[in-house]
Amino acid sequence: MVQDVMSSMDADEVNSINDTTEAMQVARLVRTSYFDVVSNKLPEFTTLYQLNATTDVQKPVMMTLPSDVHSLVTLKYNKLDINNPQQDFTLLTPLTVEDFFNMTHSLSLSETNVASMEHTIGIDTFTFLYRTDKHPDYYTCIDDHTIFFDSFDSSIDNTLQKSKTFAIGEKESTFLLTDNYVIDLDEAQHVWLLNEAKALAFVEMKQSQHPIAERTAKRQRIKAQKTKSAMNDWRLYYNTQLPDYSRHRNRATPKIIMH
């Protein structure tokens, strides 16, 4: 990829991105273009995963996102019990933080099916109420990483269980500045990325335009939006997905926007 971009710029030939300062600069521009491309919610970055359960029985309704994913699009919980021993993965309803705590604040510790837990956010410690007599129905994300649920069934488990969660979301995108790194995109998206990188390199390094690369990149971007997946109904999925809770990524590159 770096060699192709540098060739289009009539730059010196290199065998490694570490050969010249210019080669490393191009590699960084390819990385920037890559994160721009993957910010378009490409299907190959959507994955299945399970939430991490807390081992603290004092916080039974708290779970966290795995470190290698940054969004939660769909979440189900297996509501099996003694009377219903078969799998029963039920879709849970996401709530805003305000709506979630408006609901839990209506609970009372005087009720036998309500318990409390403490959780520290920043320098402040809060007390949260939850029900103990049913599987969860609702959840919210309080810091783009920690997930709170409205309840758990204490007659079955001590805490919510990782094995009973089924989540769909986007995995974290990585890009290594090494010669042998294989870019995780399909063939058509490679063409898109290459031309985005060429256009950016011409602007950043030559202070000029590359009209052909810009037109090709634009055409590939439009094409990718229309054919994101081999599945014919993928666009329908993206049009009907639940709100997600994207984890903020500390990068000076384009980020996936929460919606």
Q: Find the mean pLDDT for residues 107-126.
A: 91
Q: How confident is the model at residue 108 (pLDDT cuts 50, 70, 90)?
A: very high
- Residues 100 and 160 both lie in one domain: yes
- How high is the pLDDT of residue 81? 78
pLDDT reading at 140 higher than 80: yes
* CA distances for 249 relative to 31, 36, 57, 88, 174, angstroms: 15, 13, 30, 34, 11
Average pLDDT over residues 171-199: 84
Report d(CA 133, CA 137) in Å as an integer: 12
Global pTM exceeds 0.75: no
Among 246, 247, 248, 253, which residue's Cα sits nearest to residue 177? Answer: 253
Mean pLDDT computed over every residue of the chain: 82
Q: What's the rounded mean pLDDT across residues 241-246?
A: 48
Structural domain containing residue 37: 2-42+185-228
pLDDT computed for residue 25 by the predictor: 92
CA–CA separation, 58 vs 120, rounded Å? 13
Separation of CA 52 from chain center: 15
Query: Is residue 246 one of the residues assigned to a domain?
Result: no
Decide if 105 is inside a domain: yes
Domain match, 29 and 106 both = no
pLDDT of residue 154: 92
What is the rounded average pLDDT of the residues 180-206? 85
Q: Are residues 67 and 138 in the same domain?
A: yes
| 63 plus 18 within the same structural domain | no
pLDDT of residue 226: 57
Nearest alpha carbon to residue 61 among 120, 143, 136, 163: 136
Percent of the chain at pLDDT > 90 equals 43
Residue 172 has pLDDT above 70, yes or no: yes
Residue 42 binned pLDDT confidence (cut-offs 50, 70, 90): low
Residues 114 and 20 in one domain: no
Backbone φ and ψ for 127, nearest 5 degrees, come out as: -105, 125
Q: Which two tokens stand for residue 36?
A: 């721009």
Check whether residue 37 and residue 52 sit in a common domain: no
By the 10 Å C-beta count (0-12 exposed, 13-18 middle, 19+ buried), 218 is classed as middle
230, pLDDT greater than 70: no
Specify if 242 maps to a domain.
no
Give a yes or no: residue 166 inside a domain.
yes
* pLDDT of 84 over the 90 cut: no
Based on the domain organization, do 87 and 158 belong to the same domain?
Answer: yes
Say if 58 falls within a structural domain.
Answer: yes
66 and 153 inside one domain: yes
Please tell me the predicted confidence (pLDDT) of residue 50.
94
Q: Report if residue 192 sits inside a domain.
A: yes
For residue 126, how many other CB atoms are within 10 A of its CB?
11
Please report where in the chains the tokens 């037109």 appear, as a residue: 215
pLDDT at 211: 73
Overall domain count for the chain: 2
> Of 67 and 113, which is predicted with more confidence?
113
Answer yes or no: do 160 and 94 share one domain.
Answer: yes
- What pLDDT score was predicted for residue 131? 96
Q: Tokens 């060699």 — which residue?
A: 3
- Averaged pLDDT, 11-15: 90
CA distance 6 to 26: 7
Residue 247: pLDDT band by 50, 70, 90 thresholds? Answer: very low
What is the DSSP track for 22-82?
HHHHHHHHHHHHHHHHHTTT-GGGEEEE-PEEPS-TTSTTEEE--TTB----EEEEE---S
Pair (108, 137) in one structural domain: yes
**Residue 96 in this model has a pLDDT that exceeds 80:** yes
- Is residue 156 assigned to a domain? yes
Q: How confident is the model at residue 222 (pLDDT cuts 50, 70, 90)?
A: low
Q: Are residues 86 and 197 in the same domain?
A: no
> Is 101 a member of any domain?
yes
User: What's the pLDDT band for 237 if we cut at 50, 70, 90?
Assistant: very low
Name the residue among 72, 52, 65 with its Cα closest to residue 256. 72
Per-residue pLDDT band for 61 (boundaries 50, 70, 90) equals very high
Is the pLDDT reported for residue 167 higher than 70? Answer: yes
